[in-house]
Amino acid sequence: MRIIKTKGEKLLKKELKGDFKFFLKEVNLNPKSKGYGLIRDKSNLAPEIASIASVGYGLAALVIGVERKWLSLPEAYNRANKTLDTFIDHMEQTQGFFYHFINMETAKREWNCEVSIIDTGIFICGAILAGEYFKGQVKEKADKLYKNINWEWYRDKDVNQFYMGYSPEEGFSGHWDMYAEQLMLYVLSVASPTHPVDTSIYKDFQKPVADYQEIKNIIYTYCGALFTYQYSHAWIDFRNRKDKMGIDWFENSVKATLANRKYCIEHSSYPKRPHLNPEPMGTYKTYGENSWGLTACVGPKGYSGEFGAKPANSQLNGNDGTISPSGAAGSIVFTPELSIQALEYYYNQFPKLWGKYGFKDAYNLDCGKPWYAKECIGIDKGISMLMIENYLSGLIWKYFMKNEYIQKGLEKLDILPKKQEVEKV
């Protein structure tokens, strides 16, 4: 990827270091604990609760730390190795899938949460990355965890879609019925050497298409939140690839990011724009050309996944002016110049948005006095960290794409480099 030399690179590296520190510090490193290696879901609230997605991103942080000489190779290897031991020896699991939220000390289920396919996917992506980078026992254990996942068990055979959640009390619920952040699940599942799913599952989820003004043919997600266009791309390098249906998922995320930013500009009420008469319904002082990236985050009323932009199926009634820096940071590989401008704006204009782990989770200028999150969330720090590193060096893509099963999965789904795709057709 072309690296743009700007003053923004200094800020990117500063944010990257802050993201890394979250995963370095918000972790259980007690060697006698059954929860060794578990990483908090949030930095302040519920300090006893870890999330398996945070652990997945934390395994990636170990790779980044070694490459940037923030952590020694032996220390990082030991952390990764013992973290995978926790998942093999102590974590509650069902058919190879893990609970979304677990206790930091006991590794037991918390909050009566679901056995999560998507969060297991994020964790296993981190494990695969660590295995490719560290090799040895780390790779052996990552392979064991991956091969233990029974993907077919999580598939609803009647509609040929993955269920969205499972709990022992209520059974399966919901479906991954339309495009969102789950592309990684199809690549992982069809390539499994032990419990593969038929490739038709990739074709059988909905891919609705809409325009947002002059931005055409966006395959959009239900909620219009940016994280849904980012998460799988943090691990899988979709650049210059196209499937048999002609879909370029990377270019789709570029368009969705541009639409998200344009939506924020069109729904900004500050400054007043006399040429818009009347102004669009739902306008906010927080939004603007450098304050954009509607995505799931903490808001003044708590965590919400309802912050999103058009195109979307959602009516977007959850929008309240909250913006998370992780929206722009997580899209930096798609819109580098615009993302850097946004991050510089946050850093220069809102010093209260900066903390010990870099940017805090979100801010809002539309709820009386300005509101700033006191919280950092693992998945938001994680997507920011991986995408910034991919933009600066391509490190995550480089090692993740070395994995034989990832390559096999992309090949089986016919998501091929464009030259190969043309030749195959």
Rounded CA gap, 181 and 19, in Å? Answer: 21
Looking at residue 6, its pLDDT comes to: 54
Q: How many CB atoms within 10 Å of residue 15?
A: 25
Rounded Cα gap, residues 93 and 85, in angstroms? 14
- 311 preceded by cis ω (within 30°)? yes
Cα 12 to Cα 340: distance, rounded to the nearest angstrom: 8
Tokens of 317: 């009634």
3-class secondary-structure state, position 245: coil
Tell me the two tokens of residue 167: 């709990």
pLDDT per residue, tens digit, the chain (425 aa), is 333 345 689 999 999 999 999 999 999 999 999 999 999 999 887 889 999 999 999 999 999 999 999 999 999 999 999 999 999 999 999 999 999 999 999 999 999 999 999 999 999 999 999 999 999 999 999 999 999 999 999 999 999 999 999 999 999 999 999 999 999 999 999 999 999 999 999 999 999 999 999 999 999 999 999 999 999 999 999 999 999 999 999 999 999 999 999 999 999 986 554 444 444 557 999 999 999 999 999 999 999 999 999 999 999 999 999 999 999 999 999 999 999 999 999 999 999 999 999 999 999 999 889 999 999 999 999 999 999 999 999 999 999 999 999 999 999 999 999 876 544 44
What are residue 242's DSSP bridge partners?
Answer: 416
**For the domain 8-424, what is the CATH superfamily, name and number?**
Glycoside hydrolase 144 (GH144) (1.50.10.140)
**DSSP-derived 3-state class of residue 127:** helix
Asked if residue 342 lies in contact with residue 290, where contact means CB atoms within 8 angstroms, the answer is yes
pLDDT at 263: 97
How far apart CA 404 and CA 159 sit, in angstroms, is 29
Q: How far apart, in Å, are the Cα atoms of 38 and each of 23, 27, 50, 122?
A: 10, 6, 6, 14
* Helix 52-67, helix 8-25: angle, nearest 10: 120
Buried b (16+ CB within 10 A) or exposed e, 308-328: bbbbbebebebbbbbbbbbbb
CA dist., res. 127 & res. 104, Å (int)? 19
- Kindly report the pTM of this predicted structure: 0.94
Note the pLDDT of residue 3: 38
